[in-house]
Chains A and B, each alone.
Chain A
Amino acid sequence: MSLRGAAAIIGIAELPTQRATPGRSSLGLMGDAARIAVHDAHLRKEDIDGLITEGGTVYPGLVSEYLGLRPRFASGASMMGASGATATTLAAMAVQNGLANNVLVVIGSARNNAIPEAGAGPTGIATELDATVGTAAGAGTGYAMMYKKHMELYGTTQEQLAHVAANQRFNTLENPNSAFQGQPISVEDVMASRYVNYPLRLLECVMPCGGAAAIVVTSADRAKASHNKPVYILGSGVGTDPQTAWQRPVITETPVARSAPIAFEMSGYTPRDIQFAEFYDCYTILVSMCLEDSGLVQKGEIGPFFASTDTTYKGAFPINTDGGQLSSGQPNLAGGFRHVVEGARQIMGRAETRQVARNDLCLVNG
């Protein structure tokens, strides 16, 4: 038995990604996203009998309490940025195995001025050293060192990766949920932006934001009667790596090298079959390495790929069609979830002005 086709996404919700969410709590944002997703699925709140949240910062029990839910299956999926995609996988497993019929996945993070930025203080033994050398969790130094190593090993250039940011910004220009709607940037603009951590420039880094998203996952049988075009989950793999970037044995490799082959094998498809991709993108280098490790692009070839391929929603191979996190803002823990939601939105054919032409098969990396 595999997950192939056992479950489908039948409702989606995404709140606008915003630089700040004054007066709003994470629970409140999750409530709004939950309401919209359940409504979008043409279900009633009472139909929701499963709940998956990020769980590590706000426990599922509190989300359930705040929303007045009484799930018979509930869990957290505390995988930082990958929480949304992991939760989607867990939701499919839950409905496939009869633990629930309709699972609500909801993740949201408020961002108010009172909330300290990442890196406010040491949290573990690795950071005991990190703090003394001038870095902190979420600072981007780890990704910058990966970037430098990738340049050295494969000849990747900063100009090649500047296309990632420029193309994604094009994709977000008409996205009403984006913090950068209507603000185009060029490859030259990226190259002219200041360094945060060489080789990473400002426009290659995400902007921390607040926001929330939600989906409803149901069984394949129930999905047949869905109001929306069902978005079937055909395969999934969930990997992880040392949280501290410099603890990774190979710093130019991501856990996608282990999770993608499982997803492909389960699905029966190969990277060549994929029509568009929604990939986690906190930094240009990270989305680049993940695309390589997924098999969509050969290892070490991502630089030439971006320099020669139109990856906008109009292009030969669309990537991060809503602008991704780089060009829409990173709503904290819901950041990686946006890729699931946009993939589903495109397959449902509801992406409006940024709708991709071929929308049957998407590879999502949360």
Chain B
Amino acid sequence: MTSEYKKPLPRPTINPEVSQPFWEGTKKHELWLQYCLNHNGHFFYPREVCPVCLAPQERLVWQQVPAKGRVHSYTTVYQPALPAFAEEAPFIHALIELDAGARIVGNVVGLSREEVEGNALELNQPVEAVFEDVTDEWTLVKWQRVDG
């Protein structure tokens, strides 16, 4: 599995340290988000300043949160922008509203081809994280349906 993963890996390009705890979390099969001690809320993606209240980095901590949420919306990708995903199409690209109160994008897996093409996934569907160790260094988080 390790050297054969051909699709893009997370490659931080602005400041790798900022999002490192998120990826350390996925490696442990856990979901970690930044939490702002000033306004008392989670947010995503990782930043050096709170996008809600502009609190500085010193007021931002990392917390493990339940790896659960609901499908806020989704699209079924038939023509991927990235060639590496061509063989997988059609696949589901969703916006997940986490129970912890932030949103994250991810693939919803575990649907049959018929379900994918028939748009069987419904909005507000409860989902939970599935952690996929794609290389020795990187673990990606995907999502699967659970009973509400």
Contact = CB atoms under 8 A, between A and B. Distances in A.
B103 A246 contact: yes
Contact of B12 (A128, A135, A198, A199): A128
Q: How many of chain B's residues touch chain A, expressed as a range?
A: 35 or more
Interface in B50-77: 72-77
A159 to B, nearest CB: 15
A148 B74 contact: yes
A197 B45 contact: no
Interface of B: 7-15, 18-19, 45-47, 72-82, 85, 88, 90-91, 93-95, 103-107, 119, 123, 140
Given A119-B81, A152-B123, A195-B78, 8 more contacts: A124-B13, A131-B8, A132-B7, A132-B10, A133-B140, A135-B80, A141-B93, A195-B90
Given A132-B140, A152-B123, A145 B95 contact: yes
A198 B75 contact: yes
Interface of A: 117-119, 122-136, 138-141, 144-149, 152, 194-200, 246-247, 251
List the 5 closest A-B pairs by CB distance, nearest first: A144-B75, A139-B81, A198-B76, A131-B8, A119-B81
Given A197-B79, A200-B75, A125 B12 contact: yes
A149 B73 contact: yes
Contacts of A118: 81
28 contacts: A122-B8, A125-B19, A126-B45, A128-B10, A128-B45, A129-B45, A129-B104, A129-B105, A131-B82, A132-B7, A132-B9, A132-B10, A134-B80, A134-B107, A135-B80, A135-B105, A136-B81, A145-B73, A145-B94, A146-B73, A148-B75, A148-B123, A194-B78, A194-B79, A195-B79, A198-B75, A198-B90, A198-B119
